[in-house]
Amino acid sequence: MTEVVLVRGDGIGPEIMDATLRVLDAAQAPLTFVEAMMGEKAYLAGAPSGIPQEAWDLVQKHRLIFKAPITTPQGGGYKSLNVTLRKSLSLYANVRPCIAYHPVIHSPCPGLDVVIIRENEEDTYGGIEHQQTAEVVQCLKLISRPGCERIVRYAFEYARQHGRKRVSCFSKDNIMKLTDGLFHRVFEEVGKAYPDIEQDHWIIDIGTARLATQGQRFDVIVTLNLYGDIISDVAAELTGSVGLAGSANIGSSCAMFEAVHGSAPDIAGQGVANPSGLILAGVQMLVHLGHGAAAERIHNAWTRTLEDGLHTADIYQSGRSEKRLGTEDFATAVIERLGEEPRRLRVARYPHEQSTICPVLTTQAPKTKRLDGVDIFLDWSEAGRDPNVLGQRLEALPTGRAKLAMISNRGTNVYPGGIAETFCTDHWRCRFLFEDAGTGADIIALLTVLHEHGWEVIKSENLYAFDGEKGYSKSQGGD
């Protein structure tokens, strides 16, 4: 018996959790549950994060969570509890299988059978944001090589384990050559160890368009956090209802299983919610734990229930459906079909032993790191905002070994050689390069000179070359 921390959640959470637990119990899933209070009730009872200490203690002890959706208060209250759990427990892989059940349930993409594997910890979801000038705010997009390697290896291993043939990487590395570029590069490096799996790369915008119109072309998609957040909703919606998809959040020592959808306050308490997303999350949990036989029993009984036309309101369609069922009756229908298999839709088959995916990192640190210069960001809004005035003034300063190489505004080169049409905000990136390798002392000297001459420095970014390769981007239209 495996002990799992159970969170009943908010809104429709308790209803769909009760229904799901009945199904797990009837299928004799080898699980026992310990309940933890999280979410709205915990917040109202005085836990500012929505997760009281007792709940954290249980999670750290059992390392497995089965969770119904939780309401995130809007415009105040605690931060997203899901993001807190994912990041604190290092649940780096978010796995969402999205399958169309055509012709049983209407889907705009009848052949869809795709698994979205989303990096779950990095990217802009660090939520590191700053207002730097009156006009400009920034959000830091942090991507790490180990982070990329872990998720990409996970995707390839997942594909192998589940008999999937192709892994597609989605990124925007034509624009973000360093961050998304790293993700794509790691995908190509790691992919060499998986010659049995087909692999390709799509720029995220056309990739998403293809997913929406020809989703059947994809098999496994691996992508960064923000893109994965968006395309996994697109893919879930293509299956026919957001109420149908389960989701696994996997880390190296913890895992959390939940439905894709939220707490649906609009239908809470009515007994009409579809418990399928949570039931399929339960199936994913059983597969993760190596209980493939129980997972198959539940999944196949569930598919058979859909095939028999027994549908909850969100997927009910006259002509396709036989009967409209509430949450409890739907669970009972699944229980009655335990041991049966679908006749037209695909029969689920899972590995019957535990084979945890544990990606080994092979990243090697670069041998040399040279300081080429520094980007100094200035807040400057003098009338006219003429980049030539700024450039000439900075060039006149006694900056020693540091020479002004260029100025850009929101990434576009404006000095030297800018054009008058470029709109300039009050946020200027001034790139200084050292005559040869610089040191921290050179940067401090430069900052001191700028400060003494009345310039407002809002931040600086060091410009390094790693093993001779520039670790910083060019400006648009410049060097």
Which residues of the chain form contacts with Mg ion (CB under 5 A)?
229
Q: What is the DSSP letter of 476?
A: B
266 binds, among Mg ion, ligand NAI, none (CB under 5 to 8 A by kind): ligand NAI
Structural Rg of the chain based on CA atoms: 26
Q: Which amino acid is at 269?
A: G
Quickly list H helices, 320-378: 327-336
How many angstroms from the chain centroid is the CA of residue 152? 13
Which residue's CB is nearer to ligand NAI, number 277 or number 292?
277
261 binds, among ligand NAI, Mg ion, none (CB under 5 to 8 A by kind): ligand NAI
242 binds, among ligand NAI, Mg ion, none (CB under 5 to 8 A by kind): ligand NAI
Q: How far is the CB of 82 from Mg ion (least distance, A)?
A: 9
Query: Residue length, the chain?
Result: 479
Residue of 432, 436, 434, 438 whose CA lies nearest to 460: 432
71 binds, among ligand NAI, Mg ion, none (CB under 5 to 8 A by kind): ligand NAI
- Tally Cβ neighbours within 10 Å of residue 3: 14
d(CA 42, CA 52): 7
- Residue, CB closest to Mg ion: 229
Q: How far is the CB of 117 from Mg ion (least distance, A)?
A: 15
Residue of 403, 426, 427, 420 whose CA lies nearest to 479: 403
Span near ligand NAI by CB under 6 A; candidates 111-119, 144-152, 260-268, 424-432: 260-268
> How far is residue 144 from each of residues 58, 183, 186, 192, measured CA to CA in Å?
30, 9, 10, 20
What residues have CB less than 8 Å from 302, skipping those under 6 apart?
23, 276, 279, 280, 283, 334, 337
Under rule CB under 6 A, residue 239 binds ligand NAI:
no
Give the per-residue contact string, 6-35, with ligand NAI (x = CB under 6 A; - = no). Answer: ------x---x-------------------
Which residue's CB is nearer to Mg ion, number 229 or number 340?
229
Q: 30-89: which residues touch ligand NAI (CB under 6 A)?
A: 69-72, 82
Which residue's CB is nearer to ligand NAI, number 306 or number 404?
306
List the one residue from 263, 284, 303, 460 that touches ligand NAI (CB under 6 A).
263
Give the per-residue contact string, 293-332, with ligand NAI (x = CB under 6 A; - = no). Answer: ---------------------x------------------
Place of tokens 């049983």: 104
